[in-house]
Amino acid sequence: MAALDPIKKAIRSPRGAGSAAVLVLVVACALFAPLLAPYAYDIQNLPGANTEPGWTHWMGTDEFGRDLFSRIVYGARTSLTVAISAISISVAAGLTLGAMAGYFGGPFDRAVTAVVDLTWSFPEILIALILIAIIGPGLQSTMVAISIAYLAQFTRLTRAQIMALKNETYVEATANLGAGHFHIIFRHLLPNALTPVIVAGMLATGDAIILEATLGFFGLGAQPPTPSWGAMMSSGTAQIFIAPWIIIFPGLAIALTVIAINLFGDALIEALDIRNRLRSS
């Protein structure tokens, strides 16, 4: 399939292959968590709290005696679900808004640009914190907050792409043949503008994992006992001198996942030759 060719090409590079392997592992953890986790993630065993890593508990236990490995495996599900859902929503909304603004121009474009520029001027974490303060903490709130926080990025990128493409000859020809606006946008412009947005979405997923972990660290993301890597690190800070593994392993999980996403994103950019395409456009 031609659509998978860039991915195959990216995987052929050492950087792409290594990062893809890590990502497959993380996704497998998320998908098969109930099979991979040796213990239930929420069963407490208070007398066994803060047990060091060993044969019984490979990554030790947390302050409630819960198996840390099991919680990290389930935590992958939380992190990936939140990050991928949030970025998917954000990409879909950004593509639509950016395409409409770029294609139609005029007051609608000015209004969208003004709002996007306003949100673009704040860091994503600040926007997410404000939104969660309004809608309340929780997993769904975190998804909504992250998707809105990243909306500006995808809207701007799509709008720029559409503005560059809408004056191409083939678009004018399609219009002259009587095609409607929505036909032009969705059949001709968006497919050609999609690739850089998808790659940006891929890279933003890594950032979204960090943002989810940050919100979890502040107690605003997934609520206990649902495992979230950020929340696990937060509770580990209280035990840092007596059970450092509680903070180390979730930290490593976040770092590995985000590095893998970024490296794979880089490999994908090279495979798609996006930099040159953007330069030429």
Partner 1 sequence: MRFTTKSLILSGSMFAAALAFGPDAAVWAQDATFVMPSDDVGAPSYDPIRGTKLNAATSLIYDRMVIQDADQSFHGQLATEWESSDDGLAWTFKLRPGVTFHDGEPFNAATIVWWVPQFEGTENAFMTAAIESVEVVDDLTVKFVMKNPDPNLLSNMASIFMGIPSPKAYDAMGADYGVTAAVGSGPFTLQSFTIGQETVLASNEAYAWASDLSENQGPPHIKTLTLREISETSTAFLELRTGGVDMLLSVPTDFLPQLEAEKSITVGTLPGTGIFYIPINTTVAPFTDIKVREAAALAVNQKEILDNLFGGIGSEANNFLISSLLAADVDPKLNISYNPDRSNMLLEEAGWTMGADGVREKDGTKLQVALWTQNGTEFKRVTEVVQAQLKAVGIGADITVFDSATINDQYRKGNEHQLAVRSYSWANADIIDWFFAGSRLGYPNVSMWNDPKAEELNKIAMTGSRTWEERVANFKAYHEYVLGQFVFAPIYQPVQSYAYSTDNITLPKTIRGTRIQSQTIVDITVN
Interface with partner 1 by CB under 8 A: which residues?
42-44, 46-47, 49, 63-64, 136-138, 219-220, 223-225, 235, 237-242
In the bound complex, what is the minimum distance in angstroms from residue 244's beta carbon to partner 1? 12
Choice between 138 and 251, CB closer to partner 1? 138
Residue 54 is given by DSSP the state S
Question: In the complex, what is the shortest distance from the CB of residue 49 to partner 1, in angstroms, rounded to a whole number?
Answer: 6
Asked whether the bond before 225 is cis by omega within 30 degrees of 0, the reply is: yes
DSSP, residue by residue, 150-201: HHHHHHHHHHHHHHHHTTSHHHHHHHHTT--HHHIIIIIIHHHHHHHHHHHH
User: Measured between alpha carbons, how far is 219 from 139 in angstroms, rounded to an integer?
Assistant: 11
Q: Which two tokens stand for residue 208?
A: 């979204």
Tokens of 182: 């929505």
Alpha carbon separation from 125 to 142, 194, 218 (Å, rounded): 11, 26, 11
Query: By C-beta, is 44 or 96 nearer to partner 1?
Result: 44
Q: How far is CA 92 from the centre of its chain?
A: 13
51 vs 153, which CB is nearer to partner 1?
Answer: 51
Q: How far is the CB of 68 from partner 1 (least distance, A)?
A: 15
Report yes or no: 200 and 269 within 8 Å, Cβ to Cβ: no
Q: Closest CB to partner 1 among 119 and 239?
A: 239
Which residue reads 């943002």 in tokens?
Answer: 211
CB of 241 vs partner 1, minimal distance in Å: 6
State which residue, 18 or 65, has the beta carbon closest to partner 1. 65
Q: Which is nearer to partner 1, 18 or 225 (CB)?
A: 225
**Shortest separation between residue 228's beta carbon and partner 1, angstroms:** 12
Radius of gyration of the CA atoms of the chain, in A: 22
Query: What length does the chain have?
Result: 281
Q: How far is the CB of 43 from partner 1 (least distance, A)?
A: 8
